[in-house]
C-alpha cells in the first residue's frame, strides 16, 4: 500500500515525504512540479520507495489515474497556493480554484478509491486577526478570523473537509500548520511568503551581508522536521479524538533568529549580518511586524505524544547541516 502526497515537491511536502521514506514507506508524489534534483539525490539513499507523477489536482482524470495505478490507502493533500498580497489581488480566482475546488476534487477521488486516512493541511493563518490579539491560540476557544485570501481558503477548506468527511464517511483529521522554517523551503512559484531563515541561508551561501530589522517581535516558528513529524502522528493515530489539531513548536522564537545568523556566520566567513532601524537598509523580510500568539499544542502533545525535537539552537545546527549537504537547492 502507498501514501499519496499531493504537492509533495513543495516545502512541507518534501519534509513529509522524506520522513515517510526514512521509515520505509511507499510514497507517491503528485503535483505540477518535478522532484527537485537535490531531493531526488538525497531521497535515493533512504529505504522507502518513491514514485513521482506530474499532474494537476484540478485534472480529475489524472488524479483518478494515480489512484487506479497505485494502491493508495493514506493521503496528504498538500497541493496549495500559499499566496502573498500581490497574488491575492491579481490572481484571486486561481487561488480559490486550487485551494478550494482542487481540495474537493482530491477528497472525492480519495473517497472513490477507499482511502483509509486523510490528513488535511490547515494553517495557523485561519486564526487571522486573533494571531495578534490572543496570547495562546487554542483550537476550541480562539476565534478564527482569517484576514488573507490564503487564510480564508484554509479555514473554508478545513470546514469543507470536515463536512465532506461526515457526508462521505471519510477518516479525516486536520492539522493547523504553524509558521514553518527549515530544510526544503524555497521559492516554488506558488509560495510567496518565504521566511527570513531561508533568506539568511541564501545570503550566507552567496557570501553577502544580511540586514535584519532592529526590532524583533515574538514569533511562533516551528522547524519543518518537527512539523512533518506532527503531521505523520496524525496519519498514524488510530482514532483521533478531535477533528483539528495545532502543530507548532509551542515556544517563542522572535529575536532568537539572531542565533541562526551567528551560526551561518561561523560556517561561511564571507557572510556578515547586522540589524538596522532604517527600513531602506533591511534586506531580510519578516512580512509582518506584529507580535503573534503561541499555538497551544496540548491536544496533539497529550493525546499523541508530540514533542518537538528541534528547538532554537538544535534546529539551527540541523538546518546548517542540511544547508551544507544541499547548497545547490537554495542557490543555483
Domain ranges for the chain: 2-180+221-247, 185-220+252-292+311-330
Q: Please tell me whether the overall predicted TM-score, pTM, comes out greater than 0.85 for this model.
A: yes
Question: Cell numbers at residue 38, please?
Answer: 537535490
What are the φ/ψ torsions at residue 330 (nearest 5 degrees)?
-90, -35
Cα gap 307→246, rounded to integer Å: 13
The per-residue pLDDT for 219 is 87
Domain 2-180+221-247 homologous superfamily, CATH:
NAD(P)-binding Rossmann-like Domain (3.40.50.720)
Known catalytic membership, residue 155: no
The per-residue pLDDT for 54 is 95
Q: Give the pLDDT confidence of 11-43 residue by residue, as tens digits.
A: 999 999 999 999 999 999 999 999 999 999 999
What are the φ/ψ torsions at residue 76 (nearest 5 degrees)?
-115, 105
The per-residue pLDDT for 292 is 86
Task: Tell me the sheet residues that pair with 120.
Answer: 174
Beta-strand pair 294-295/136-137: parallel
Cα gap 166→314, rounded to integer Å: 41
> Which residues in the chain show pLDDT less than 70?
188-193
DSSP classification of residue 250: -
The per-residue pLDDT for 211 is 98
Contact 130, 79 (CB under 8 A): no
**Catalytic entry in 150, 245, 316, 329:** 150
The per-residue pLDDT for 192 is 62
The per-residue pLDDT for 189 is 63
Amino acid at each position: 500500500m502507498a501514501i499519496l502526497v499531493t504537492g509533495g515537491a513543495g516545502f512541507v511536502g518534501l519534509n513529509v515525504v522524506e520522513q515517510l521514506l526514512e521509515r520505509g514507506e511507499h510514497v507517491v508524489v503528485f503535483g505540477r512540479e518535478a522532484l527537485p534534483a537535490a531531493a531526488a539525490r538525497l531521497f535515493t539513499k533512504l529505504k522507502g520507495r518513491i514514485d513521482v507523477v506530474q499532474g494537476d489536482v484540478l485534472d480529475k482524470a489524472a488524479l483518478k489515474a494515480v489512484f487506479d495505478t497505485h494502491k493508495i490507502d493514506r493521503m496528504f493533500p498538500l497541493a496549495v497556493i500559499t499566496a502573498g498580497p500581490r497574488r491575492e489581488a491579481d490572481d484571486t480566482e486561481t487561488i480559490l480554484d486550487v485551494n478550494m475546488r482542487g481540495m474537493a476534487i482530491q477528497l472525492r477521488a480519495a473517497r472513490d478509491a477507499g482511502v483509509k486516512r486523510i490528513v488535511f493541511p490547515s494553517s495557523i493563518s485561519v486564526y487571522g486577526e486573533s494571531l495578534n490579539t490572543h496570547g495562546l491560540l487554542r483550537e476550541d476557544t480562539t476565534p478564527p478570523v482569517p484576514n488573507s485570501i490564503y487564510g480564508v481558503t484554509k479555514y473554508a477548506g478545513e470546514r469543507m473537509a470536515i463536512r465532506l468527511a461526515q457526508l462521505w464517511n471519510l477518516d479525516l483529521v486536520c492539522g493547523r500548520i504553524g509558521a514553518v522554517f527549515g530544510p526544503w523551503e524555497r521559492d516554488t512559484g506558488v509560495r510567496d511568503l518565504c521566511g527570513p531563515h531561508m533568506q539568511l541561508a541564501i545570503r550566507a551561501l552567496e557570501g553577502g551581508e544580511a540586514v535584519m530589522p532592529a526590532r524583533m517581535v515574538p514569533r511562533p516558528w516551528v522547524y519543518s522536521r518537527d512539523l512533518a513529524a506532527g503531521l505523520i502522528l496524525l496519519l498514524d493515530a488510530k482514532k483521533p479524538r478531535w477533528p483539528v489539531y495545532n502543530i507548532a513548536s509551542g515556544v517563542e522564537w522572535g529575536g532568537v533568529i539572531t542565533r541562526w545568523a551567528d551560526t551561518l556566520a561561523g560556517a561561511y566567513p564571507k557572510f556578515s549580518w547586522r540589524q538596522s532601524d532604517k527600513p531602506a537598509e533591511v534586506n531580510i523580510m519578516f512580512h509582518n511586524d506584529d507580535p503573534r500568539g503561541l499555538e497551544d499544542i496540548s491536544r496533539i502533545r497529550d493525546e499523541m505524544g508530540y514533542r518537538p525535537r528541534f528547538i532554537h539552537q538544535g534546529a539551527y545546527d540541523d538546518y546548517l547541516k542540511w544547508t551544507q549537504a544541499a547548497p545547490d537547492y537554495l542557490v543555483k
